[in-house]
Amino acid sequence: MKVLIIEDTAELAEALIDFFVIGGHSADSAGDLASAYDFLSVSHFDLILLDIMLPDGDGRSLLRSVREKNDNIPIIVMTAKSEISDRIDVLDIGADDYIVKPFEFAELEARCRAVLRRQNGQNQIKLTFGKVNLFPLLAMLEFGDEQQQLRNRELRLLEIFFGSPKILFSKEQLTDRLFSISEDISENAIEVYIARIRKKLSGSGLEITTVRGLGYRLTEQNT
Protein backbone atom coordinates (compact mmCIF):
# COMPACT_ATOMS: atom_id res chain seq x y z
CA MET A 1 0.00 0.00 0.00
CA LYS A 2 1.20 3.48 -0.85
CA VAL A 3 -0.01 6.29 1.40
CA LEU A 4 -0.01 10.08 1.03
CA ILE A 5 0.00 11.81 4.41
CA ILE A 6 -1.18 15.42 4.24
CA GLU A 7 -0.29 16.85 7.65
CA ASP A 8 1.48 20.07 8.62
CA THR A 9 2.62 18.95 12.07
CA ALA A 10 6.07 17.59 11.30
CA GLU A 11 6.28 15.31 14.34
CA LEU A 12 2.98 13.59 13.54
CA ALA A 13 3.80 13.31 9.83
CA GLU A 14 7.18 11.71 10.57
CA ALA A 15 5.65 9.32 13.10
CA LEU A 16 3.02 8.26 10.56
CA ILE A 17 5.64 7.69 7.87
CA ASP A 18 7.69 5.55 10.26
CA PHE A 19 4.57 3.61 11.24
CA PHE A 20 3.63 2.74 7.65
CA VAL A 21 7.21 2.00 6.54
CA ILE A 22 7.73 -0.37 9.48
CA GLY A 23 4.53 -2.09 8.39
CA GLY A 24 6.02 -2.68 4.96
CA HIS A 25 4.18 0.10 3.14
CA SER A 26 5.51 3.17 1.36
CA ALA A 27 4.53 6.69 2.35
CA ASP A 28 5.06 10.29 1.29
CA SER A 29 4.10 13.38 3.28
CA ALA A 30 2.94 16.83 2.24
CA GLY A 31 2.86 19.70 4.71
CA ASP A 32 0.43 21.86 2.75
CA LEU A 33 -2.14 21.73 -0.02
CA ALA A 34 0.24 22.88 -2.75
CA SER A 35 2.66 20.03 -2.04
CA ALA A 36 -0.22 17.56 -1.84
CA TYR A 37 -1.49 18.53 -5.28
CA ASP A 38 2.06 18.15 -6.63
CA PHE A 39 2.30 14.61 -5.24
CA LEU A 40 -1.09 13.65 -6.63
CA SER A 41 -0.19 14.99 -10.07
CA VAL A 42 2.84 12.74 -10.46
CA SER A 43 2.13 9.56 -8.50
CA HIS A 44 -0.51 6.96 -7.67
CA PHE A 45 -1.59 6.47 -4.05
CA ASP A 46 -3.75 3.74 -2.53
CA LEU A 47 -4.85 5.87 0.42
CA ILE A 48 -4.81 9.50 1.56
CA LEU A 49 -4.67 10.64 5.19
CA LEU A 50 -5.89 14.24 5.13
CA ASP A 51 -5.60 16.92 7.79
CA ILE A 52 -8.23 19.65 7.58
CA MET A 53 -6.38 22.68 8.92
CA LEU A 54 -3.39 23.32 6.65
CA PRO A 55 -1.14 26.40 6.28
CA ASP A 56 -2.41 27.31 2.82
CA GLY A 57 -6.05 26.36 3.12
CA ASP A 58 -8.76 23.95 4.19
CA GLY A 59 -8.15 20.26 3.47
CA ARG A 60 -11.78 19.91 2.48
CA SER A 61 -11.00 21.77 -0.73
CA LEU A 62 -8.63 18.98 -1.75
CA LEU A 63 -11.24 16.41 -0.82
CA ARG A 64 -13.81 18.15 -3.01
CA SER A 65 -11.32 18.45 -5.87
CA VAL A 66 -10.50 14.74 -5.80
CA ARG A 67 -14.16 13.73 -5.75
CA GLU A 68 -15.11 16.17 -8.51
CA LYS A 69 -12.66 14.30 -10.73
CA ASN A 70 -14.55 11.07 -9.93
CA ASP A 71 -11.42 9.75 -8.27
CA ASN A 72 -12.49 7.14 -5.71
CA ILE A 73 -9.16 6.88 -3.88
CA PRO A 74 -9.92 6.19 -0.20
CA ILE A 75 -9.52 9.30 1.98
CA ILE A 76 -9.46 9.31 5.78
CA VAL A 77 -9.75 12.75 7.34
CA MET A 78 -7.68 13.47 10.46
CA THR A 79 -9.36 16.19 12.47
CA ALA A 80 -9.06 17.80 15.89
CA LYS A 81 -12.76 18.68 15.75
CA SER A 82 -15.00 16.20 17.52
CA GLU A 83 -18.41 17.78 16.89
CA ILE A 84 -20.86 15.53 15.06
CA SER A 85 -21.63 18.29 12.52
CA ASP A 86 -17.95 18.42 11.49
CA ARG A 87 -17.82 14.66 11.03
CA ILE A 88 -21.01 14.66 8.96
CA ASP A 89 -19.61 17.50 6.85
CA VAL A 90 -16.45 15.64 5.74
CA LEU A 91 -18.40 12.43 5.10
CA ASP A 92 -20.94 14.32 2.97
CA ILE A 93 -18.14 15.90 0.94
CA GLY A 94 -16.73 12.48 0.13
CA ALA A 95 -14.43 11.26 2.90
CA ASP A 96 -14.48 7.50 3.43
CA ASP A 97 -13.84 7.84 7.15
CA TYR A 98 -12.49 10.22 9.77
CA ILE A 99 -10.42 9.90 12.91
CA VAL A 100 -10.24 12.44 15.73
CA LYS A 101 -6.87 13.65 16.99
CA PRO A 102 -5.15 12.53 19.11
CA PHE A 103 -5.58 8.92 18.04
CA GLU A 104 -3.96 5.54 18.58
CA PHE A 105 -2.08 4.25 15.56
CA ALA A 106 -3.69 0.82 16.03
CA GLU A 107 -7.11 2.41 15.50
CA LEU A 108 -5.86 4.27 12.43
CA GLU A 109 -4.47 1.04 10.96
CA ALA A 110 -7.83 -0.69 11.50
CA ARG A 111 -9.67 2.17 9.80
CA CYS A 112 -7.23 2.01 6.85
CA ARG A 113 -7.90 -1.70 6.42
CA ALA A 114 -11.65 -1.13 6.62
CA VAL A 115 -11.82 1.57 3.95
CA LEU A 116 -9.56 -0.43 1.65
CA ARG A 117 -11.80 -3.48 2.03
CA ARG A 118 -14.85 -1.41 1.15
CA GLN A 119 -13.10 0.28 -1.76
CA ASN A 120 -11.78 -2.94 -3.28
CA GLY A 121 -14.88 -4.99 -2.61
CA GLN A 122 -12.55 -7.76 -1.54
CA ASN A 123 -11.82 -9.90 1.45
CA GLN A 124 -8.48 -8.51 2.51
CA ILE A 125 -7.88 -11.49 4.82
CA LYS A 126 -7.48 -13.76 1.80
CA LEU A 127 -7.02 -12.99 -1.91
CA THR A 128 -7.42 -15.89 -4.32
CA PHE A 129 -6.47 -16.44 -7.94
CA GLY A 130 -6.45 -19.88 -9.54
CA LYS A 131 -5.63 -22.37 -6.78
CA VAL A 132 -3.41 -19.95 -4.89
CA ASN A 133 -4.32 -18.00 -1.75
CA LEU A 134 -2.56 -14.84 -0.61
CA PHE A 135 -2.95 -13.87 3.06
CA PRO A 136 -1.86 -10.19 3.35
CA LEU A 137 -2.11 -10.01 7.13
CA LEU A 138 0.05 -13.14 7.52
CA ALA A 139 2.42 -12.25 4.64
CA MET A 140 1.92 -15.77 3.35
CA LEU A 141 1.30 -17.47 0.01
CA GLU A 142 -0.48 -20.84 0.05
CA PHE A 143 -1.09 -23.45 -2.64
CA GLY A 144 -1.60 -27.20 -2.18
CA ASP A 145 0.46 -28.24 0.84
CA GLU A 146 2.94 -25.43 0.22
CA GLN A 147 3.23 -22.26 2.26
CA GLN A 148 5.61 -19.46 1.37
CA GLN A 149 6.44 -16.62 3.73
CA LEU A 150 6.84 -13.26 2.03
CA ARG A 151 9.01 -10.26 2.70
CA ASN A 152 7.37 -6.84 2.75
CA ARG A 153 7.98 -5.78 -0.84
CA GLU A 154 7.23 -9.27 -2.16
CA LEU A 155 3.88 -9.12 -0.39
CA ARG A 156 3.05 -5.63 -1.68
CA LEU A 157 3.90 -6.63 -5.24
CA LEU A 158 1.75 -9.76 -5.03
CA GLU A 159 -1.12 -7.71 -3.59
CA ILE A 160 -1.01 -5.57 -6.73
CA PHE A 161 -1.11 -8.60 -9.02
CA PHE A 162 -3.73 -10.52 -7.02
CA GLY A 163 -5.89 -7.40 -6.83
CA SER A 164 -5.94 -7.21 -10.65
CA PRO A 165 -5.05 -10.63 -12.10
CA LYS A 166 -4.39 -10.81 -15.85
CA ILE A 167 -4.01 -7.02 -15.95
CA LEU A 168 -0.81 -5.73 -17.52
CA PHE A 169 1.31 -3.44 -15.33
CA SER A 170 4.22 -1.47 -16.73
CA LYS A 171 7.49 -1.31 -14.84
CA GLU A 172 6.79 2.36 -14.17
CA GLN A 173 3.36 1.60 -12.69
CA LEU A 174 4.77 -1.07 -10.38
CA THR A 175 7.64 1.17 -9.30
CA ASP A 176 5.20 3.99 -8.58
CA ARG A 177 2.97 1.76 -6.43
CA LEU A 178 5.77 -0.03 -4.61
CA PHE A 179 8.08 2.82 -3.65
CA SER A 180 7.67 6.32 -2.26
CA ILE A 181 8.83 9.28 -4.32
CA SER A 182 11.62 10.04 -1.85
CA GLU A 183 13.24 6.59 -2.13
CA ASP A 184 16.38 6.13 -4.21
CA ILE A 185 15.45 3.25 -6.51
CA SER A 186 17.85 1.32 -8.75
CA GLU A 187 16.86 0.77 -12.37
CA ASN A 188 16.48 -2.99 -11.94
CA ALA A 189 14.60 -2.93 -8.61
CA ILE A 190 11.35 -4.22 -10.09
CA GLU A 191 13.15 -7.03 -11.96
CA VAL A 192 14.70 -8.13 -8.66
CA TYR A 193 11.33 -8.38 -6.91
CA ILE A 194 9.66 -10.00 -9.93
CA ALA A 195 12.38 -12.68 -9.89
CA ARG A 196 11.80 -13.28 -6.17
CA ILE A 197 8.05 -13.75 -6.42
CA ARG A 198 8.43 -15.97 -9.49
CA LYS A 199 10.44 -18.32 -7.28
CA LYS A 200 7.76 -18.17 -4.59
CA LEU A 201 5.08 -19.03 -7.19
CA SER A 202 7.02 -21.98 -8.61
CA GLY A 203 4.75 -25.03 -8.74
CA SER A 204 1.63 -23.02 -7.94
CA GLY A 205 0.05 -23.02 -11.39
CA LEU A 206 0.46 -19.24 -11.59
CA GLU A 207 3.20 -17.23 -13.21
CA ILE A 208 4.30 -13.66 -13.75
CA THR A 209 4.56 -13.29 -17.50
CA THR A 210 6.60 -10.62 -19.25
CA VAL A 211 5.15 -8.75 -22.20
CA ARG A 212 8.30 -7.47 -23.82
CA GLY A 213 8.52 -3.70 -23.81
CA LEU A 214 5.19 -3.33 -22.00
CA GLY A 215 5.32 -4.91 -18.55
CA TYR A 216 4.17 -7.84 -16.41
CA ARG A 217 0.97 -9.61 -15.47
CA LEU A 218 -0.17 -12.48 -13.28
CA THR A 219 -1.67 -15.37 -15.25
CA GLU A 220 -2.54 -19.02 -14.86
CA GLN A 221 -0.13 -21.32 -16.64
CA ASN A 222 -1.27 -22.78 -19.97
CA THR A 223 -4.06 -20.22 -20.30
The domain covering 2-120 belongs, at the CATH homologous superfamily level, to Response regulator (3.40.50.2300)
Which pLDDT score, from 0 to 100, does residue 135 have?
87
pLDDT tens for 83-114 read: 777 788 888 899 989 998 989 888 898 888 88
CA 202 from chain centre, in angstroms, equals 26
Which pLDDT score, from 0 to 100, does residue 87 have?
80
Which pLDDT score, from 0 to 100, does residue 76 have?
95
pLDDT tens for 118-157 read: 776 555 568 899 999 998 877 899 999 999 999 888 988 9
pLDDT tens for 21-65 read: 888 888 999 999 999 999 999 998 999 999 999 999 999 999 999
Domain boundaries, the chain: 2-120, 127-220
pLDDT exceeds 60 at position 8: yes
Q: What is the pTM of this model?
A: 0.70
Which CATH number does 127-220 carry? 1.10.10.10
Which pLDDT score, from 0 to 100, does residue 121 have?
57
